[in-house]
Amino acid sequence: MKDIFYNPEKAKKELEEKQVVNIEQEKRSDYFKKLKLDKKFQKYIIEEILEKEILTNQNIGGSIEAMIASSPEDLKSMLLAKNAALKCAESIKNRILINF
């Protein structure tokens, strides 16, 4: 059977660490609550994320090595997937621009 000893210094340190974590979580929660109210900021962030996705799907340079090594069927499916992702991101971005 193990002996369990209470270490008051360790307990105090763990309590302080727990309080710091709780304070940080509250700050983060308050920050995100404020951001939810700021529609222009949301629009900016969402547009930036979608713009990166659009550029990634427009550029096939990063996947040329995979395209060279793949079969024609795989190449076709890769290009169709990139095109679908591009159209989806553009559609979402356009909807956001219309609604804001």
62 lies in a domain? Answer: yes
Interacting residues of 56 by C-beta distance below 8 A, sequence separation 6+: 62
1 lies in a domain? Answer: no
Q: What is the pLDDT of residue 100?
A: 63
Structure tokens of 29?
A: 């929660």
26 lies in a domain? Answer: yes
Region for residue 4 given its phi and psi (left: phi exceeds 0; alpha: psi -120 to 50; beta: otherwise): beta
17 lies in a domain? Answer: yes
Q: What is the pLDDT of residue 35?
A: 74
Interacting residues of 75 by C-beta distance below 8 A, sequence separation 6+: 67
For the chain, the domain total comes to 1
34 lies in a domain? Answer: yes
Q: What is the pLDDT of residue 2?
A: 59
15 lies in a domain? Answer: yes
pTM, whole model, 2 decimals? 0.50
The DSSP code for 62 is G
80 lies in a domain? Answer: yes
Mind listing the pLDDT tens digit of every residue in the chain (100 residues)?
Answer: 555 778 888 889 999 999 999 999 999 888 878 877 877 777 777 778 888 888 887 877 667 777 777 888 888 888 888 888 889 888 888 887 776 6
* Domain span including residue 12: 8-99
3 lies in a domain? Answer: no
